[in-house]
Homo-oligomer: A and B are copies of this chain.
Amino acid sequence: MFDFTIHARKDRARAGVFSTPHGELLTPVFAPVGTQATVKTLTPEHLKDIHASLVLSNTYHLYLRPGDELVRDMGGLHQFMQWPNPMLTDSGGYQVFSLSKTRKIDDDGVTFKSHIDGSTHRFTPEKSIAIQQNLGADIIMAFDECSDPNDLAYSRIAMERTHRWAERSLQAKTRPDQALFGIVQGGVDPDLRAESARFIAALDTPGIAIGGLSVGETKQEMHDTLDVVTPLLPENKPRYLMGVGTPEDLINGIARGVDIFDCVLPTRLARHRSAFAPEGRLNMMNAAFARDTRPLDETCDCYTCRTFTRAYIRHLIMARELLAGTLLSIHNLRALIRLVAEIRSAIVDGTFESRVDGWLTQWGGNAVRKI
């Protein structure tokens, strides 16, 4: 269980297989986000159709609603949401800091107010692990503190706390069928990141997460941070870049040795009526699509692209029909899953180096184009 085998490499990029109790993950892998035990608007059948292999769910949200003990009593997260394949939960740390209006951090943990009803709650490393054990995902995260990347002094404090919390998380974990990943923090400071990478790499965990990126730093800072961190991590453990990202972030992350990604971008774009397409991100409210009989992406194999025209999708959007969000989510998620699968194949067949610039050109434009 939790074996990680690397089948092919090109420089720092790797193509591997990570074994979990609910199946093997071919890495690199992009995980759709199912915050509240559902990838918004999609059924598990839709997720299978887009070849999703790993689904993330959020500890903070499920703890508050419906409650991790309820999920446990319903047979755990896989059973509850009927997702039979691998799952990952985060530690709740990031949400406590980003969603709760008031929070008090001390060395033992964090006291915060629910964003739903204002009630007071407390997370500690032990509590986060207990919740994640109740939820039962295959991959779980150590409790961590994400700092403002531009505040060096705070980044050190948060990093040191994250390290102590990683040790406590590891000690608290008892389920053998869950892989606990420690989380590298340290803002965008190369020394802190190096220190954190060494500390987390030394822990006895089957994988390592890189947190605190895609939180306001520049693209250059993200790349520089990965350039510091991944060379310091053991080769034989998968690396998970939390909450990242755009298509170009995935390409750049894989090139720098990252194996696992998750991001709400594809489903969020769907809610904003945008679609990934070969010509860039499409604003599907645009009148130019009113009579466009093409699929969103002629090269895409998803249900939406196999079935519907741009004209129909635009009609659904203009008529405020919820099916629009479903169809766009299917396509946008498939687009990133397909991109990552394509990159994996290229690592395996030795064409990664010759294709990486093409992907960046094709997808990089998306990062700067207005939605």
Contact = CB atoms under 8 A, between A and B. Distances in A.
Interface stretch (A135-143, A219-227, A258-266, A321-329): A321-329
A74 interface: yes
Contact of A323 (B43, B80, B293, B319): B43
Given A36-B321, A70-B291, A315 B65 contact: yes
A65 B318 contact: yes
A44 interface: yes
A312 interface: yes
A66 B37 CA distance: 35
A205 interface: no
Interface string A37-77: 11011111100000000000000010001100010011000
Contacts of A318: 65-66
Interface in A264-316: 290-291, 293, 303, 307-309, 311-312, 314-316
B38 A81 contact: no
A73 B290 CA distance: 11
* Residue in A38, A82, A290 whose Cβ sees the most chain B Cβ within 10 Å: A38
Nearest to A74: B311
A229 B39 CA distance: 50
A80 B38 contact: no
Contacts of A65: 315, 318-319
Nearest to A64: B319
B323 A70 contact: no
Contacts of A321: 36, 38, 40
B74 A312 contact: yes
Contacts of A43: 303, 307, 323, 326-327
Contacts of A66: 290, 311, 314-315, 318-319
A305 to B, nearest CB: 12
B41 A312 contact: no
Given A66-B318, A303-B45, A311 B40 contact: no
A41 B322 contact: yes
Contacts of A73: 291
Contact of A37 (B38, B41, B44, B312): B312
A323 B290 contact: no
A68 B319 CA distance: 14
Nearest to A306: B82
Contacts of A326: 41, 43, 326
Given A43-B323, A44-B307, A82-B307, 16 more contacts: A36-B321, A38-B321, A40-B321, A40-B323, A43-B327, A66-B318, A66-B319, A70-B291, A70-B311, A73-B291, A74-B291, A74-B293, A74-B312, A82-B308, A322-B325, A326-B326
28 contacts: A36-B316, A36-B321, A37-B312, A38-B316, A38-B321, A38-B323, A40-B321, A40-B322, A43-B303, A43-B326, A44-B307, A61-B319, A65-B318, A65-B319, A66-B290, A66-B314, A66-B318, A70-B290, A70-B291, A70-B315, A74-B291, A74-B309, A80-B309, A80-B311, A80-B312, A82-B308, A322-B322, A322-B325
Interface of A: 36-38, 40-45, 61, 65-66, 70, 73-74, 80-82, 290-291, 293, 303, 307-309, 311-312, 314-316, 318-319, 321-323, 325-327
Q: List the 4 shortest-distance A-B pairs measured between CB atoms, nearest first.
A: A36-B319, A66-B315, A41-B322, A38-B323
